[in-house]
Every structure is written in C-alpha cells, then in structure tokens.
Amino acid sequence: MALEGLDGAGTTTQGALVAAALRQRGLSVHETAEPTNGPIGQVVRRVLGGTLPFQPAVLALLFAADRLDHLQREVWPALATHAVVLSDRYLLSSLAYQSIDLDPPWVATINQFAPPADLTIYLAVSPEECLARLERRQRPSEHYEQLDRLRAVHRAYQRAIAASRLAGAQVVVVDGMQPPARVCQVVTELVLASWNRRARASEQQRL
Ligand SMILES: Nc1ncnc2c1ncn2[C@@H]1O[C@H](COP(=O)(O)OP(=O)(O)OP(=O)(O)O)[C@@H](O)[C@H]1O
Ligand SMILES: [Mg+2]
C-alpha cells in the first residue's frame, strides 16, 4: 500500500496514524518510505538536499534503482511474512515528479520492474493548503516559487493518476483536507478492504 500526495499533503502523518490503527486491529505492519535509507536512497536524498547536482534523467534512474532495491531488500521480504507494507511514497511519485522534466512513457519504462502497489492512496490537498502547512514548519521564503512548484506537481499527479489507472493500477483519491483523524479512518478502511481482498485471492490460489 502506498501513500502519495504533494509535499505537505500529510503522507508521513498518515503513515504513522494508519500503521497504529492497523496494529490495533491485530495486523502486522511494515512501515517504510521512498527514497529509502539504503545506499541508492542516500544518494537520492543528497541530490534532493541540493548537495549533489544531477541532471533530471540521472535522478529519475536513481529513483527507479532505489525502488527496485527497496522491493528486494524490504518490501518483498515483509510481504512474505504477511505484514501489511505501508510505503510513504512509491511508484506514483516518480510518475508524477519525474514526468515534470522528462517524457512520461520513459519514466514508466525505467520503472517497469516495479509493480504498482495493491492500493495507492492519493491524499488530495490543494497546493495552497500544502504551502500553508509547509510554512508552519519552515520559513515562508520563496512563497511564489514554492506555490508554482506545488501547482506543477499537482498537475503532474493528475496526469500520472489517469495514466496509472489506465494501466490497471488501483489508485484511490482521498480528501486530505479533513482533520488527520478523519483521513486516517478513511485510509484505514481502504487498506483493510484491499488487504482482505489480497488474502482471499492468495487463499484461492492455494485451493
Ligand atoms: N489532515 C491534516 N490537516 C491539517 N494539517 C495536517 C494534516 N496532515 C498533516 N498536517 C500537518 O501538515 C504538515 C505536513 O504533514 P506531513 O509531514 O505529514 O506531510 P508530508 O506529505 O509527509 O510532507 P513531505 O512531502 O514534505 O514529507 C505537518 O506539520 C502536519 O502536522
Ligand atoms: Mg513526509
């Protein structure tokens, strides 16, 4: 299960809340995030932090490589133990962010070995609200530049969601403007329904 949204939409907040809610219901949960803390993810974080300049195509390839490393090192082993894997950002982030500077089909191609999550939840929050949330935790510098950027990412997500659905991915849009506890309720129910479908499908395969 992947949580997606603009910067400040609340993916990290919801990751923690939903994981706690699922554990309360007796499920085992593996919380994770992209970029990862693994070797390739650390390079990605340095690029995002501005200390390591790379051209957009190199960054897109690094994100794709970090994703495969993430699947192999963490996601697949956790799924094998029947844990719900909850990732703060996954494939849809690349299809949105990297497609701002690059050809979307190429971004999809370099990610072709990363299967879409069973369920991708997009927390829909307006760019203006995201900016207000981000400004509460940082300096309100570069206000307009940041708003333009959030609007571009917002448009990129709309395109990526449409393309992903056409390709068969389960992407559900949840109103992320509501209070965190309410968003958590909605997301938890969606995750539980998807998890139960997954369990039924694998049971049928065994029969
Ligand atoms: N539903 C909500 N309503 C109001 N404020 C919220 C909500 N969810 C999160 N916030 C606040 O918005 C800010 C950003 O939340 P959070 O860090 O979870 O976002 P994020 O999507 O993980 O951002 P980033 O992409 O930068 O990691 C935090 O200060 C958080 O407390
Ligand atoms: Mg976050």
pLDDT at 95: 98
The residues of the chain scoring below 50 in pLDDT are none
Using a 6 Å cutoff on CB, does residue 15 contact ligand 1?
no
Calculated CA dihedral for residues 191, 194, 197, 199, nearest 10 degrees? -50
Ligand 2 centroid from CA 109, angstroms: 26
User: What pLDDT was estimated at residue 163?
Assistant: 97
Instruction: Write the CATH number of the domain with boundaries 2-28+87-206.
Output: 3.40.50.300
Distances (CA, A) of 194 to 9, 63, 75, 84, 168: 22, 26, 17, 10, 15
Which protein residues have a CB closer than 5 Å to ligand 2 (ion)?
12
How far is the C-alpha of 62 from the C-alpha of 163, rounded, in Å? 22
Write b or e for each residue in 154-168: b if 16 or more Cβ atoms lie within 10 A of its Cβ, otherwise e.
bebbeebbebbeeee
Give, using CA atoms, the residue closest to atom 14 of ligand 1. 8
* DSSP summary character for residue 84: E
Q: From ligand 1's centre to the CA of 138, what distance in Å?
A: 12
pLDDT of 139 reads 62
Centre a 10 Å sphere on the Cβ of residue 181 and count the other Cβ atoms it contains. Answer: 9
- The neighbouring-strand residues paired with 120 are 2, 171
Give residue-wise pLDDT tens across range 46-63.
999 888 888 999 999 999
For ligand 1, pick from 4, 7, 13, 174 the residue to mutate: most ligand atoms within 8 Å of CB: 13
pTM above 0.75, yes or no: yes
